[in-house]
Structure 1
Amino acid sequence: MKRSAIYFSLTFVAVAAGIPLLSGFVGNDTEAYTSNKDLRTLAPFDMWQGTPINEDGTFRNLYQPFDSRFSDLVKWKLSKNPLAERKKKDSRTLSVQSASELVASSDDYLIWLGHASFLIKKEGVTYLIDPILIDNFFLKRQSELPLSLSELPAIDYILISHNHRDHCDRATIEFLAERYPHAEFLTGLGVGKVIAPWLSGQQVQEAGWFQQYTMAEDQAEVIFVPTRHWSRRGLSDENKTLWGGFYFRFTDTSVYFMGDSGYGPHYMDIRNALGSPDYALLGVGAFEPKWFMHQSHISPTDAIKVFHELEGRFFFPMHFGTFDLSDEPLLMPLDILLENEGEIDGTLIFPTVGKNIW
């Protein structure tokens, strides 16, 4: 295969799967910031000025510039995977139980649908986070959904953490938009333009970091919070849309959804600004090889460190076991967590797809 063909092939795969692929861009030291002027900001510290942007208007991380090159992708893909044999022999899949009766009941629930997808019903409102409900050419589920698409309940809010295809799926969003014409989308700055062609006139709220979405008075507070990540969906849109996580403050409990993130000081900022979450939904997968993935995803041991910094009560691991995105075996992140469970200052909830986490 010619070098140009190899380049195109790897580039296409990387963009489709949300694999880091930047052209040596490491950001700059500008002091430009942005936000949605229509939303309330809950500043993490006195000097907070908003979400940082570069001179060209692209977004950047708070503390660590993202430094990834195409040559890194080639190096990873052409290197031998030391976990390959173990991965080949490990045929385990996630534990899955039906959620059909639960979602049909009047009960509140927090349900993992696999990967970074969650279904929440609390205080009479239903939220769907990062739904990837339909397989596509690059993403094939290794675990079943806990309910059929026809069994999904009425959805009030659909939350999209960033534009990578394992979090923001066109076919899924088109299906949801057609089925739930009154649902509202909550996401980060710029993402509205990505999903607008797939919608059926739904309202979209775009937030900067530490901004609170506008909700009804009797509904939860939902705040968009920072992650250490990046964005790209095509070949020329790197970091033009914002990435992040979500923090829910209900009447009697709080939930932090991490989104995709490497390790960094922003976790402490989140705790300082919004308090310690009762439930921390933390990514633990797609972390090998660490030299390549650490800027995008935390490892299971780093997730324990993050959980302690957040001072959370319940630790629920996600972002593993559903899609094959990296070098480690699908359930290796869970193995590592269980081996280190005694070091966790809090309660590790065993991750079962479809089970009520509350």
Structure 2
Amino acid sequence: MLLIGVLLLCACSTPNKVQRQVSKEAVLPQITQGEHQGAYRNLYRTPLGQRQYPAHCEANCYPAHKAVECKTPGQDCRYTAAQQAPELTTGFAVQWLGHASFVINTPDGQQLLLDPVFGQFDWPVRWVQWFAGIIKRPYTPTISSTTLAETDAVLYSHLHYDHFSQQSIEQIGNKPTYYLPLGMADYMPKGGYHIIEQAWYSQSQQGELSIHLVPAHHFNNRRLFNDDNKALWGGWLLKHGENTLFFAGDTGYSEHFKDIQQKYGDIDICLLPIASYHHEEHADWYRYVHTTPEDALVAATELGCKVMIPWGYGNGSWQMGDISSHSPLLRLLHMQRQLNSQVPLLILNEGDSVQL
């Protein structure tokens, strides 16, 4: 037992290997003066209450839908319609684990994890949630140890406890390469992890796959004090040949979606958030950093998405500011009709997989 303890202690104290990718085209929007000097900022900033959005649901935003079967209105639901994926031949396979966590299998045979958080939150928020009993996510799909062992790369979008989990990282281990926005390596556990930090519009090569960090309209912190926006945040764009997959991360609506399309062209597969936007007392702030379903539909059009897979709702969601587990999905389906959106939607239940 003593030997095992010594070996574990040595593993945990092994320094991580950190590389940084900051290309000539990289964008690093940082505050250059004042008390927040060095902190990162969003590209498109508008004072709260003054931001204009292209679309908005005014009334009756959550009507029941025949394809969404629920135990109670909008709560504990399952999407039951037949999946009609567009005829894409990208070679990507997507499994939605719940909330923002995905397993991606790439055309060159690699397995990637996007924002893997196994459980409800990382510690200590998970402990506080359990102790207080105030936030419940009753269902979280799991990954087998065999599947975890096949992971080639792990990509995290930002530091918030429902998107970045040190406990999950320790469970995954140090075999994969970890891709992070700039500054996030400081928050990784020690243990000999191979980490590549990237700036916006910088890229890395993983096998035949190119991995690009792109802007998001959000914020980043991990502690109560002194680390607000000291690490960058973003979305990830995966490119294999001419085929692309985009994971937006947590983001509000802004012009950055148009910028991404202008740089990379129309996107084949878009994984876009549609939840955590509704809050009666702080509605301006929530929507500023989280897309509503209609914001996501507009963004999908601007990105030229050939298929949009929404996330953030679900029986395992923690319903931050949402009315119910599936209210964002009901609003999405409602606003798709209202806006006459031509972007194909592929609706998954937690744990579902699709080949595209």
Instruction: Give me the whole-angstrom Cα distance separating, in 2, the residues matched to 1:120 and 1:199.
Output: 26
1:352 corresponds to which of 344, 349, 355: 349
Residues 151 and 65 (structure 1 numbering): CA distance in 2 closer, same or farther, change over 3 Å?
A: same
1:28-67 pair list within 5 angstroms: 38-42=21-25, 50-55=28-33, 56-64=37-45
Whole-angstrom CA distance in 2 between matches of 1:108 and 1:302? 25
| 2:296 alignment partner, one of 299, 303, 306 | 303
Query: Counterpart of 2:200 in structure 1: which amino acid?
Result: W
Alignment of 1:75-154 (within 5 A): 90-94=74-78, 109-122=93-106, 123-135=108-120, 136-137=126-127, 138=129, 140-145=136-141, 147-149=143-145, 151-154=147-150
Aligned residues: 285
2:224 equivalent to 1:228: no
For 1:110, the aligned partner's letter is: V
Percent sequence identity over aligned pairs: 27
Q: Any residues of structure 2 matched to 1:1-358 within 5 Å, and which?
A: 38-42=21-25, 50-55=28-33, 56-64=37-45, 90-94=74-78, 109-122=93-106, 123-135=108-120, 136-137=126-127, 138=129, 140-145=136-141, 147-149=143-145, 151-177=147-173, 181-195=174-188, 198-213=189-204, 215-216=205-206, 218-236=207-225, 237-289=227-279, 290-321=283-314, 322-342=317-337, 343-357=340-354, 358=356
Q: 1:227-267 CA deviation, whole Å, 9 max, x = no partner?
A: 11111111221111111000111125211100011111111
- Return closer, same or farther for 1:227/1:50 CA change in 2, 3 Å cut-off: same
Given the superposition, is the C-alpha separation of residues 124 and 65 from structure 1 closer, same or farther in structure 2, using an over 3 Å criterion? same
> What SS does structure 2 have at the residue aligned with 1:52?
coil
* 274 and 51 in structure 1: CA distance in 2 versus 1, 3 angstrom threshold: farther
Cα distance in structure 2, aligned partners of 1:95 and 1:353:
10
Structure 1 distance, partners of 2:24, 2:112, is 22
- Structure 1 residues 273, 52: CA separation in 2 closer, same or farther (over 3 Å shift)? farther
The alpha carbon displacement at 1:66 in A equals 7.4
TM-score, L = length of structure 2:
0.73
Mapped partners of 1:87, 1:58: distance in 2: 45
Residues 224, 245 of structure 1: 8 Å contact kept: yes
Q: What amino acid sits opposite 2:184 in the alignment?
A: V
Deviation at 1:286, TM superposition (A): 0.6
1 or 2 for the larger relative contact order (CA 8 Å, sep ≥6)?
2
Amino acid at match of 1:133: F
> Which structure dedicates a bigger proportion of its chain to helix?
1
Structure 1: 4+ residue segments shifted above 6 A: none
Alpha-carbon distance, 1:147 to partner: 4.2
* Counterpart Cα distance in 2 of 1:125 and 1:66: 42
Aligned residue in 2 for 1:8: none
Structure 1 stretches lacking a partner, 5+ long: 1-35, 44-48, 69-82, 97-106
Inter-partner Cα distance in structure 2 for 1:257 and 1:140: 25
Determine if contact 1:94/1:143 at 8 Å carries over to the other structure: no
- Match of 2:75, SS state, is coil
TM superposition score normalised by structure 1: 0.73
The verdict on how the C-alpha distance between 1:140 and 1:166 changes in structure 2, with shifts beyond 3 A counting, is: same
Given that 2:21 and 2:199 are in contact with CA atoms closer than 8 Å, whether structure 1 keeps it comes out as no
Residue identity in the other structure for 1:210: Y
1:9 corresponds in structure 2 to none
Q: Deviation of residue 341 (structure 1)?
A: 3.1
Amino acid corresponding to residue 117 of structure 1 in structure 2: S
Contact 1:134 1:171 in 2 (8 A): no
Structure 2 CA distance for partners of 1:333 and 1:327, relative to 1, 3 Å = closer
Deviation at 1:92, TM superposition (A): 1.7
CA deviation string 1:63-112 (max 9, x = no partner): 116769xxxxxxxxxxxxxx9xx99864324569xxxxxxxxxx962111
Aligned mates of 2:73, 2:265 — CA distance in 1: 43
Is the Cα contact below 8 Å between 2:79 and 2:347 reproduced in 1? no
Shift of 1:201: 0.6
User: How far apart are the structure 2 equivalents of 1:244 and 1:351?
Assistant: 23
User: Contact 1:87/1:329 (CA < 8 Å) preserved in 2?
Assistant: no
Matched residue SS, 1:53:
coil
Letter of the structure 2 residue corresponding to residue 121 of structure 1:
N
Distance 1:119 1:67 in 2: 35
CA 1:148–1:39: 2 relative to 1, 3 Å: same
**Does the CA contact (< 8 Å) of 1:93 and 1:143 recur in 2?**
no
User: What is the letter of the counterpart of residue 98 of structure 2?
Assistant: G
SS in 1 for 2:288: coil
- Residue range with higher mean Cα deviation, 154-163 or 131-140: 131-140
